[in-house]
């Protein structure tokens, strides 16, 4: 049995566990969609999600390094070098969707198609920011006639029949994407590539003393006090800067730790990381059998009634999460129980700065309300988005959350 219950951030002498959320946000607010053929004739981009060029600050775990990016004369994008040291801010989004016209190694192909340095592309692959599918997905409605024509050319039944890699698969199965893990992986003509040129970064990972966050180590699992501002197991475009990766290194384990469950990036609290695939199954069984209890501590700007709160969430796994207090057929049931709600002093100026508390027009800043919450369902973001929390509880701005597990 191992558990952790974090005290209120208002208690004197408690360690800081909040990361400035603003440091993790994308800098640019203006996105432009570009549909154009790259200069290299071996690829075609369905679209490129990008934004304006500018100046960014980079920080390593040691000294602060400032880097001013400039426009590349070859493709109009920023110049690139390496993914490390980790920037203190995320770069504007840039996701490239490519159709491979000529076979070859993935590293060389991406470098030529997107005019990127070899070391930078190698870093992207190491971070898990490159994905592929054997067959291109359906192009978006905004695709040009040339792009639609190319899609039809490479997905024609007569062409697909000649590809041994697709034998025995349906087109839908062949369109499933997988993460590329090796720089020398071979690409077939007609394959699809998705390159996250600007993966989401987690600078907080380099500020943490990870050994001090380890709560328990057994032969089957590790319990970690997850810091706020970090990802448990990584994101679609970044599996390197994660709790699982850094905890594995801190413990010097020969085999990477595996995630058994998730809590939000802004959340602080204990998570269970499995050392074996077998224990992943064991822990998932405990969750299904409701043998794992999660208790959250959260701050609210106004009182929250004690008792069960129910709302419904649209079953679409994309942002924004849409919720309703009224029942809607097909929407997911979300329930939580507020066990207690007590009045506490409002965070002082230092705490507000540490946890990036933003002024949302609250009428009073004399007191906050600390709530202990038991999740009855485990829907993603149900705590952040559910009423009354959508207006009263600014969890992602105020603090990380504390979670207690019985293992």
Report, as residue numbers or ranges, the catalytic residues.
Answer: 264
Q: What are the tokens at 138?
A: 């359906």
Helices 118-127 and 106-114: crossing angle in degrees, nearest 10, is 120
Secondary structure (DSSP) of 175-201: T--EE---TT-EE-TT-EEEEESS---
Q: How far apart are CA 341 and CA 339, in angstroms?
A: 7
Phi, psi of 205 (to 5 degrees): -60, -30
Give percent helix, percent strand, percent coil of the chain, each to the nearest 5.
25, 25, 50
Answer for the pair 133, 175: CB distance below 8 angstroms, yes or no.
yes
Q: What are the tokens at 399?
A: 């603090």
If one counts every other C-beta atom within 10 angstroms of the C-beta of residue 118, the result is 12
If one counts every other C-beta atom within 10 angstroms of the C-beta of residue 234, the result is 21
In the chain, the largest separation of any two C-alpha atoms, in whole Å, equals 71
Place of tokens 């602060």: 64
Using only C-alpha atoms, the chain has a radius of gyration, in whole angstroms, of: 23
Answer for the pair 337, 373: CB distance below 8 angstroms, yes or no.
yes
Place of tokens 């999460």: 321
């Amino acid at each position: 049995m191992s558990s952790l219950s974090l005290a209120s951030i208002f208690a004197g002498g408690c360690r800081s566990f909040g990361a400035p959320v603003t440091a993790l946000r994308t800098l640019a607010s203006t996105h432009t969609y570009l549909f154009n053929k790259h200069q290299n004739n071996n690829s075609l981009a369905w679209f490129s999600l990008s934004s304006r060029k500018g100046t960014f600050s980079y920080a390593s775990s040691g000294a602060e390094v400032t880097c001013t990016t400039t426009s590349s004369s070859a493709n109009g994008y920023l110049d690139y070098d390496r993914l490390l040291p980790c920037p203190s801010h995320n770069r504007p989004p840039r996701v490239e969707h490519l159709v491979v016209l000529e076979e070859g190694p993935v590293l060389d192909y991406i470098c030529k198609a997107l005019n990127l340095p070899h070391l930078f592309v190698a870093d992207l692959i190491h971070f898990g920011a490159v994905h592929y599918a054997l067959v291109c997905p359906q192009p978006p409605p905004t695709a040009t006639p040339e792009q639609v024509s190319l899609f039809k050319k490479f997905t024609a039944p007569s062409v697909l029949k000649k590809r041994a890699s697709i034998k025995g698969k349906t087109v839908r199965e062949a369109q499933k994407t997988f993460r590329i893990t090796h720089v020398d992986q071979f690409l077939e003509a007609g394959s699809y590539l998705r390159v996250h040129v600007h993966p989401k970064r987690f600078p907080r990972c380099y500020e943490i003393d990870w050994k001090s966050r380890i709560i328990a180590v057994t032969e089957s699992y590790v319990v970690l006090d997850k810091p706020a501002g970090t990802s448990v197991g990584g994101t679609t475009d970044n599996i390197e800067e994660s709790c699982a990766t850094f905890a594995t290194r801190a413990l010097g384990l020969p085999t990477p730790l595996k995630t058994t469950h998730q809590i939000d990036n802004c959340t602080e609290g204990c998570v269970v990381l499995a050392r074996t695939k077998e224990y992943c199954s064991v822990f998932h069984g405990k969750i299904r059998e409701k043998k794992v209890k999660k208790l959250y501590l959260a701050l609210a700007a106004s009182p929250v009634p004690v008792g069960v709160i129910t709302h419904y969430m649209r079953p679409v796994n994309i942002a924004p999460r849409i919720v309703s207090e009224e029942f809607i057929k097909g929407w997911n049931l979300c329930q939580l129980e507020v066990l207690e709600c007590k009045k506490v002093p409002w965070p002082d100026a230092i705490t507000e700065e540490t946890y990036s508390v933003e002024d949302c027009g609250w009428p009073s800043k004399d007191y906050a309300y600390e709530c202990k919450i038991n999740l009855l369902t485990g829907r993603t973001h149900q705590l952040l988005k559910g009423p009354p929390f959508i207006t009263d509880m600014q969890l992602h701005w105020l603090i990380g959350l504390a979670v207690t597990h019985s293992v």
